[in-house]
Chain A
Amino acid sequence: MALPRHAAGLKHNGRSEVHPILKLVAQRLALGVLLLLAASVLIFAGTSILPGDVAQSILGQSATPEALENMRRELGLNEPAVSRYFSWLGGILQGDLGTALTNGRDIADSLGGRLKNTMFLAFWAAVISVPLAIFLGLLAVRYKDRWPDKLISAVTLTTISIPEFMIGYVLIYFVAIKWGMFSSVAIINDGMSLGDKLNAIAIPVMVLTLVVLAHMMRMTRAAILNVMQSAYVETAELKGLGMLKIIRKHAFPNAIAPIVNVVMLNLAYLVVGVVVVEVVFAYPGMGQYLVDHVSKRDVPVVQACGLIFAAVYIGLNLIADIVSILANPRLRHPK
């Protein structure tokens, strides 16, 4: 009965009730932008204090001193770091991410394709793992402390404990090599049909699902069990409602906030944290792209990737906050 009560609350308080939410969102957005700026400074400082020299990293072990000097001059590396930072920032504000120091390509172009791929993989992994995790969580609550609960916990905790590259290798060995079912190389390109693409990413999606499942499942289980202790659920039980109906109608809406938070955290992981999986399956996502450019000290690209990653994190957390506030009126009245 949670939902009607929200609606009533909104109607009753009128404008003064809606306003704080907008204000809150605006506040969060402004904070997010500030955070992004701070992140860009951090990334810039971080890449500057890394050992090694951009020109040497690009040209490799066999570069002559003249070639190194020519490259430094062309890249503007002889200018002070602060002025390089601000000229880059100026470009960003005009929507220009610049060109990569290493291969002179337009960063927005190369990054766009990589971002699309990352999102594609994250999307399919999320489509499978989020509903599955929540369903398994609910199932675990329904059969709390009985064998289905224990089995679900044991399996998901095992898969989260194994390093993801190991799960990847094991799946490649069985699924791709022994059974010949899906591709072990997940390279996708624009010329492929959706079916081909899904075939290519099938094993990485399995790996990612196994990796993120446990966290979301356990949080769903814990949040709902927590709510189940409360008095109104006891009342519902005494009214004679079925277990699943109690979970669905009373416990779940009140447990949404923590679940949404952990789901968003895992979605963020699927976007920014899958570099190991990308390497194992040679998937052309952003992680590998970022790592390559970090090792060559290609600061503009690292900055651009860092900004996007930071934006994804901040954005998803923003969504989680807003959903929590909408789901739980108590959060709208900060004490």
Chain B
Amino acid sequence: MNDELKHLSTRVTKGLMTRREFVGRAAALGVTAAVANSMLASSARAAGPVKGGSLRLGMSGGESTSSLDPALAASEVPIMNLRNLGDTLVNVNKDGTLDPRLAESFEASADATTWNFKIRQGVEFHDGKTLTAEDVMKTMERHSNEDSQSGALGIMRGIKSMKVDGDTFSVTLDGPNADLPYLMADYHLVIQADGGFDNPASGNGTGPYVVESDEPGVRHTYKKFANHWDETTGHVDEIEMVVLNDATARTAALQSGQVDIINRVEPKIADLLGRAPNLNVVSTAGAGHYVFIMHVDTAPFDNNELRLALKHAINRQEMVDKILRGYGSVGNDFPINAAYPLFDEVIPQREFDLEKAAEHYKKSGHDGSPIILRTADGAFPGAVDAAALFQQTAQAAGIPLEIKREPNDGYWSEVWNAQPFCASYWGGRPVQDQMYTTAYLSTADWNDTRFNNPEFDKILLEARGELDQTKRKEMYTKMAYMVRDEGGLILPMFNNFIEATTDKVGGYTGSPIGETMHGFAATRCWIEA
């Protein structure tokens, strides 16, 4: 019983449980409120970062094909590698505010077309070289020049010119963008010495940890970098990340104490795992979402009545309950939720309504030929089941939805963004502008719904330069309605990030922007003494 209480009180200190809940549980175990409160006090004293020790993470999302080249990072393990070994100009905090890192400060010109980043002094690379604004510019060049293969190429495209003046790095844009610092927080853009031109995968960064061994798809180990500029990160002396892509292997490694933190806990076992006395399951509402996408320029999806029929025929709550097991929230057919700044809470929720669906379907005048929805296990976890649920409810509304199951292999090049109706997912972006620019602007590369609304494009570009936040919020609300009521996006659910740690781990707080604390789990957590 004592162990149970101790476990509960550490959960309170970690913010996983409220004080009131704790006193309630303690009472259930036969402890008076006074004793319970004093226990809490002693547990809180022990809180706060502990330096030293080693942290072991069992991670999904690593391949033997990956490298330490920041431009090529696309999955969870490579992203965390970059967080460990490097720094970006700024970070996005979990509340959506900005945290200046290698840029000590930054400011925009009045029209938000020129941004100046003052580069922090006295920052050292692992090889001993001192960071200069020149390194920053070269890094940005490598991600944006014409030979670039960088995943950040899309967000670098609006840059017209860059220059360095002393310790200031200036960016001039094609048009105004009030969100540029958020784009600079992209994980690809860790600053490398000389921009990493000579050896992009060297792992020589300014981050709190130095690469010790690098076996892609197997294991990455790090040692603390003694000369890191920021004392508040990098608590443990050593990090070991092992790649455990198999969900059962990951869970077993955590249960048998071989790792301290795992990511991507399967929703169906999250409750069970959380009941184990020495483990904590951390579920974080995020901006990531699972979607069914229609090409609005391809028959029969070019008919908005048919799109509305399908949007009304999906049972969102059932999907959250059955596919996510409650670890998520319902979507409203536009890609923004409360995880974003300037989100409008009052946009009415679209409900599951078979009558309305049938009505819209009738109005669409669809000839009754089968509507093919393509899906695959790899589209998102549970995508095949979700499609089956969708098919059931659509058929109840008289819509002839048919499922075509595709192989995982090649899904992202052959089906997604190629076929007119398929299942897919999106990770979140830190700001609304970036999400809409990435996938809903008519000229966007990944406009996977072929959404094309000149009015929408115009407001999006205007909102970029709008520094008055109230006006900006109104603009985003207008855009949300356009996507919700006319777009090709069916967004039934936002998925939570579910991760688990042992009791020994301190400082674990999920981030809505990305999983495993937005990749910072290894550099921000500590091992309790």
- CB <8 Å contact, A185 and B244: yes
Interface string of A87-122 (1 = CB under 8 A from B): 000000000000010111100001001000000000
A289 and B249 CA atoms in complex are apart in Å by 17
Q: Any chain A CB within 8 A of the CB of B277?
A: no
Q: Is the interface of B mostly helix, strand, loop or mixed?
A: loop
A291 and B243 CA atoms in complex are apart in Å by 15
A66 and B155 CA atoms in complex are apart in Å by 13
- CB <8 Å contact, B147 and A102: no
* Cβ–Cβ < 8 Å partners of A56 in chain B: 412-413
* Cβ–Cβ < 8 Å partners of A103 in chain B: 65-67, 69, 72, 201, 216
Q: Any chain B CB within 8 A of the CB of A189?
A: yes
Interface string of B28-61 (1 = CB under 8 A from A): 0000000000000000000000000000001000
- CB <8 Å contact, A185 and B249: yes
* Least CB distance, B496 to chain A, in whole angstroms: 21
* Cβ–Cβ < 8 Å partners of B253 in chain A: 184-185, 282
* Least CB distance, A73 to chain B, in whole angstroms: 9
Q: Please count how many residues in chain B sit with their CB below 8 Å of the partner chain's CB atoms.
A: 48
- CB <8 Å contact, A169 and B248: yes
* Cβ–Cβ < 8 Å partners of B407 in chain A: 51
A62 and B448 CA atoms in complex are apart in Å by 11
Tell which of B69, B219, B252 touches A173, judged by Cβ atoms closer than 8 Å: B252
* Cβ–Cβ < 8 Å partners of B259 in chain A: 185
Instruction: Name which residue of chain B comes closest to A51, CB basis.
Output: B410
- Given that A63-B151, A176-B252, A280-B249 are known contacts, is A50 also in contact with B65, CB under 8 Å in the complex? no
* Least CB distance, B157 to chain A, in whole angstroms: 8
Tell which of A51, A62, A74, A293 touches B149, judged by Cβ atoms closer than 8 Å: A74
Q: Any chain A CB within 8 A of the CB of B173?
A: no
A50 and B411 CA atoms in complex are apart in Å by 12
Q: Any chain A CB within 8 A of the CB of B233?
A: no
- CB <8 Å contact, A187 and B148: no
Q: Any chain A CB within 8 A of the CB of B215?
A: yes
* Cβ–Cβ < 8 Å partners of A184 in chain B: 249, 252-253, 256, 258
Instruction: Name which residue of chain A comes closest to B444, CB basis.
Output: A64
* Least CB distance, A233 to chain B, in whole angstroms: 49
* Cβ–Cβ < 8 Å partners of B246 in chain A: 279-280, 282
Q: Please count how many residues in chain A sit with their CB below 8 Å of the partner chain's CB atoms.
A: 49
A74 and B201 CA atoms in complex are apart in Å by 16
- CB <8 Å contact, A282 and B243: yes
Instruction: Name which residue of chain A comes closest to B408, CB basis.
Output: A295
Q: Any chain B CB within 8 A of the CB of A221?
A: no
- Given that A51-B413, A67-B151, A282-B242 are known contacts, is A180 also in contact with B201, CB under 8 Å in the complex? no
* Least CB distance, A286 to chain B, in whole angstroms: 10
Tell which of A52, A63, A105 touches B414, judged by Cβ atoms closer than 8 Å: A52
Q: Any chain B CB within 8 A of the CB of A177?
A: yes
Q: Any chain A CB within 8 A of the CB of B274?
A: no
- CB <8 Å contact, A52 and B413: yes
* Least CB distance, B261 to chain A, in whole angstroms: 14
* Cβ–Cβ < 8 Å partners of B412 in chain A: 52, 56-57, 60-61
Instruction: Name which residue of chain B comes closest to A278, CB basis.
Output: B246
- Given that A173-B252, A288-B217 are known contacts, is A102 also in contact with B153, CB under 8 Å in the complex? no
A162 and B115 CA atoms in complex are apart in Å by 63
B residues with a Cβ closer than 8 A to A are: 58, 63-67, 69, 72, 74-75, 146-151, 153-154, 157, 201, 213, 215-219, 242-246, 248-249, 252-253, 255-256, 258-259, 407, 409-410, 412-414, 416, 445-446
Cross-chain pairs A/B with CB under 8 angstroms, 23 sampled:
A50-B410, A51-B407, A57-B413, A59-B149, A61-B416, A61-B446, A62-B446, A66-B146, A67-B150, A70-B149, A102-B67, A103-B72, A103-B201, A110-B64, A173-B252, A183-B256, A184-B253, A185-B58, A185-B244, A281-B249, A282-B253, A292-B64, A296-B63
Q: Apart from A57-B413, A60-B74, A103-B216, what are 5 other A-B pairs with CB-CB below 8 Å?
A: A51-B407, A52-B414, A74-B147, A103-B69, A189-B219
Closest 6 CB pairs of A and B: A52-B410, A103-B67, A51-B410, A102-B65, A60-B74, A56-B413
